[in-house]
Structure 1
Amino acid sequence: MASRRPPSIRLRRLATELRRLRVAAALKQEDVAVRTGLDASSIYRIERAMNKPQRRTVTTLLDLYGVTDPDRRATLLEWLKDADQQAWMKQFTPELPDVYSAFVGFEHEAERLRAIAPTAVPALLQTEDYARALLSEGAKVFPHDVERSTAVRIHRQSILTRPSPVAFCAILDEAVIRRIVGGPRVMRAQLNRLVSAAGQRNVTLRIVPFSAGPHLGLGGTFVMLDFPDPHDRPLVYTESIMGISLLDAETDVARFAHIFATIEEHALSPGSSRTLIEDAARALA
């Protein structure tokens, strides 16, 4: 069975607001079903961003919830209109997985990202040669278009240098800066890229040294996304050899936030981390 395409940020935003408006109107989903003729299960799926509602359904709900302000109604209907957009990723789909496309759309609109990277440099900090070497190795097991995937990774990095850049905090295991990817020349350039990135005001880069022993970060790669709009709930993106996923349940977000904070306790300071990366780069000279 094919998996459901993840919702866009605008569809999630609309779903959250429709649920809030229903609660503010002191109505249960069953009450809405009775008063609108909609199926209760449909209302549930709309409020969970599982289905994109039709325009007339949204206007019916807004009428029921007493939303009369024309500007507010226009905003909500605009969210509906844009619900299928995945930001700039539309130029790369449908070749890329739905979950990944959705994640990159969310990433583009995030205000803050917190990443744990136990095995490889985070995509937002990869050089083109490093990304290509990494993806080429993966393509031996999971066939994909290496050049297209590399282009996506490089394009994604613009969020770190745009006029209002995302705040990015990445915690890497020391193995990431010691493992040679693409040969010494490629790896040295990658390490120099990390040193440069660590100098950006919006980037915090920290290393968990080998001396810290085993830690929770070894369990897999994940990224926590926070958004500037209070309507947009935080997300967690996870990556493993078994696949990728997007999580938005409060319990999942809280669990990963705890894991991130625990790993932080084992990481070196940004200054000491930068020194360690510089030492690793010199060792490849």
Structure 2
Amino acid sequence: CCDGFGYKNLFGAYHAPVLAITDRSFFKTLREGWLRHGIAEIIKMATVKNLALFEYLEQAGPQLIETRFGTLDCETGDDISTLSQKILGAAMRSYVEAEYDNLYETHQCRPHAYGHTWSPGFEIEAGLLHGHAVAVGMGFGAYLSYRHQWISAAELHRILRLISSFGLSLWHDVLLNEKTVWAAQEKIIQKRGGNLAAPLPKGSIGRCGYLNQLTRAELSAAIADYQRLCADYPRQGLGIDPLCSDVGLEDPSTVAHHIPTETAEVYQAEEVLSSV
């Protein structure tokens, strides 16, 4: 099901790390916007893999960002500090459970790809931080799950509330670009060996299923309905500092159009020589 001779979807080199260390004391050095969009990946694992983690996130709420995971303006024994440790531990454990037996992506039953089906196709065009793009994908994915009667309305709104409570994006107008979103779906199908294989919450929060069929008309109709749903949420579903440029990074939607000065000079020199 993969393009890389059964070992990887895209060509390249990959070696699993021998050891990974997560030291949350470094989190206090991050501005809120950088930490916020990283939390999207934890919400992802909670929604399709770990209900307890989901509940930890609900308990922590925005305080998780404000205290930089219990490392800023709080003591080691404070509730938020203890809860932060539980959140990080549960998130990493969920990732290992999902990744360990499929490091080379030899199959596409990958719950950790939730939120990453359509977002790779619109993230750069919209100039979104990765976490905000994933959050939009998760919100829309949860709505698709509800639309297919895989989760209840109460579970849908519980997921959307959690995403929104951290200031993450549920909506961005790039979804209205039908050509972009459909192209994203076609590209991900190619990447996933001919299957959509979109991971979505199914059965309940903390469990995962895979959507494999979605026509262009169904996709457009779902986006239109999802936009109306997002309008009832804080900020009409928009995120806080959702763009790369909002947190001091270069807008990725324009990077491709920037030619370094030295490169431009080479082009100009070549043009002069070719005209002689």
Larger strand proportion of the pair: 1
> TM-score with structure 2 length normalisation?
0.30
> TM-score with structure 1 length normalisation?
0.29
Higher-RCO chain (CA-CA 8 Å, sequence separation at least 6): 2
Larger helix proportion of the pair: 2
